[in-house]
Amino acid sequence: MNVLVINGPNINMLGIREKNIYGSETYDDLVNLIKKSADEKGVTVDFFQSNSEGDIVTRIQQAYEKYDGIIINPAAYTHTSVAILDALKAVSIKTVEVHISDVDEREEFRHISYVSLYASKVIKGHGFNGYIEALNYLCEG
């Protein structure tokens, strides 16, 4: 089984500011955590982080027929991007949407998610562990 993990804008800044919301661990820590869990399960994982909506759309298109699952935290694009939603629909790969924070407990504009209209599962507010839960969900089939 192979899985693509996509993270959107500012996720590369984790651990630098807003530690009260996102914790003190970094993007590299997140990648290592997911890699370790994937290794234990015999799952192959690729990672992609971008601050650009178009690059995320292109990476999703490139995933067509190459991955069994996608784990995506579209970050701020969650709340705005029909383009990312359409790309996910186009490639038709089973997708889990993850948010480190509980977006429903935050500002009103974070309550909207376009990607949720396609995702098979949405995990919010479980910190980095949400990505591991997403991996487990994809492994369950």
Mind telling me the catalytic residues?
A: 22, 99
Query: CA-to-CA distance for 64 and 42, rounded, in angstroms?
Result: 22
3 state DSSP class of 95: strand
Q: H helices of 63-104, where?
A: 82-91
- Are the C-beta atoms of residues 34 and 135 closer than 8 Å to each other? yes
**Interface residue with ligand CA2, options 16, 90, 112, 117 (CB under 6 A):** 16
Q: Judging by DSSP bridges, how do beta strands 69-73 and 121-124 pair with one another?
A: unpaired
Residues comprising the chain, all counted: 141
Stretch that binds ligand CA2, among 26-34, 41-49, 55-63, 94-102 (CB under 6 A): 94-102
Q: x/- site string to ligand CA2, residues 30 to 69, per CB under 6 A?
A: ----------------------------------------
- Does position 6 interact with ligand CA2 (CB under 6 A)? The reply is no
Measure CA 90 to chain center. 17
Smallest separation (angstroms) from ligand CA2 to the CB of 75: 4
- Does position 99 interact with ligand CA2 (CB under 6 A)? The reply is yes
Binding site for ligand CA2 (CB under 6 A): 10-11, 13-14, 16-18, 22, 73, 75-76, 78, 99-101, 103, 110
